[in-house]
Amino acid sequence: MQKEVSEMVGLFGAERVLEILRAVVIVLVGLVVARLVSSAVVKLLKNRVTNHEGLLIRRGIFYALSGLFLVTGLHQMGFNLGVLLGAAGILSVAVGFASQTSASNLISGLFLLVERPFSIGDLVRVEDVTGEVLSVDLLSVKIRTFDNLYVRIPNETLVKAVVTTLTKFPIRRIDLQVGVAYKEDLERVREVLLKVADRNPLCLEEPPPLFIFQGFGDSSLNIQFSVWAKRENFLALKTSIQFEIKQAFDAANIEIPFPHITFYTGSMTDPLPIRVVNGNAVSGQET
């Protein structure tokens, strides 16, 4: 190490080596200071800003202080900052023409930061991707799916796509599709469903459950039964209430039919003969 320092002194001169060392020290100290200051500011504002805003503030302070110390280090080494800024401007124009996609993602990222359709920690659905938002950057958004996959979505795609924020509001509605046999009394079915919702502690009383008769299906009377839950209880209620509906229907002898087909050949024709072969029903018309 001492030999290498001696070679540098002989090559650049003692004063030049000291300038380089001072510049390196300034930049390294600046990085440490920028990290400490940005973290401290975010901690002070923890109860006043969201996670998304805290991330933006931390990154803004870090990059600003790091840039300031970097400029100071370059100045210490004797660089002409005016020339550097001019070269940086020319380089930025060249990079902009060469990477139009990145520029589009950057502009889209600014739109997302201003509009804020979601924040860090929210659950979102973008086309066929559903998961938790890990970070919102200038070029892309990082998402962790429910099966623990890391997905990067370009900002340009997010601006153009339909984005559903699943945790934007404190409560969510669960729409259950239920079918009962044609012989069942719908008013009795309604009473059973409302009792199930009333007994489930995760089901909210306000807004009240919703019973909607959707129509006559091929094999069943189709019903939509909707209940409300706090967003953190959404999956738990969706699972538990369906078990409870099945148990309540069984206890009340309410039939949940399976699809079936009735063959009708007209009033003047004889019924189709059916015979059982090896446990399977076979039409007498088959050969």
Most confident of 57-71, 206-220, 265-279: 206-220
pLDDT at 99: 54
Task: Dump pLDDT digits (tens) for 12-26.
Answer: 556 666 767 777 777
Q: What share of the chain is helix, strand, coil (3-state, %, to 5)?
A: 50, 20, 30
pLDDT bin (cut points 50, 70, 90) of residue 11 is low
Looking up tokens 């706090």, which residue turns up? 230
pLDDT bin (cut points 50, 70, 90) of residue 201 is very high
pLDDT at 179: 93
Domain with CATH 2.30.30.60 in the chain: 117-165
Asked if 178 and 230 touch (Cβ cutoff 8 Å), the reply is no
pLDDT at 27: 76
Strands 274-277 and 280-283, bridge-based pairing: antiparallel
pTM score, whole prediction: 0.59
pLDDT at 271: 59
Helix-helix angle 100-115:81-98, to 10 degrees: 100
The stretch 74-101 carries a mean pLDDT of 59
* CA neighbor of 126 nearest in space, from 112, 114, 138: 112
Percentage above 90 pLDDT, the chain: 37
**Six-digit token string for 103:** 């520029």
pLDDT at 123: 92
**What's the mean per-residue pLDDT of the chain?**
79
| pLDDT higher than threshold 80 for residue 263 | no
Task: State the CATH class of domain 169-287.
Answer: alpha beta
pLDDT at 98: 46
CATH entry, 117-165, from 2.60.40.1180, 3.40.1190.20, 2.30.30.60, 1.10.540.10 = 2.30.30.60
pLDDT bin (cut points 50, 70, 90) of residue 107 is confident
pLDDT at 60: 73
pLDDT bin (cut points 50, 70, 90) of residue 37 is confident
ω into residue 207 within 30 of 0, thus cis?
yes
Domain with CATH 3.30.70.100 in the chain: 169-287
Task: Dump pLDDT digits (tens) for 158-192.
Answer: 888 899 998 889 999 999 999 999 999 999 999 99
| pLDDT higher than threshold 70 for residue 79 | no
Q: Which CATH architecture has domain 2-98?
A: Orthogonal Bundle (1.10)
- Cα–Cα distance measured from residue 193 to residue 212, given in angstroms and rounded to the nearest whole number: 12
pLDDT at 249: 94
| pLDDT higher than threshold 70 for residue 10 | no
Domain with CATH 1.10.287 in the chain: 2-98
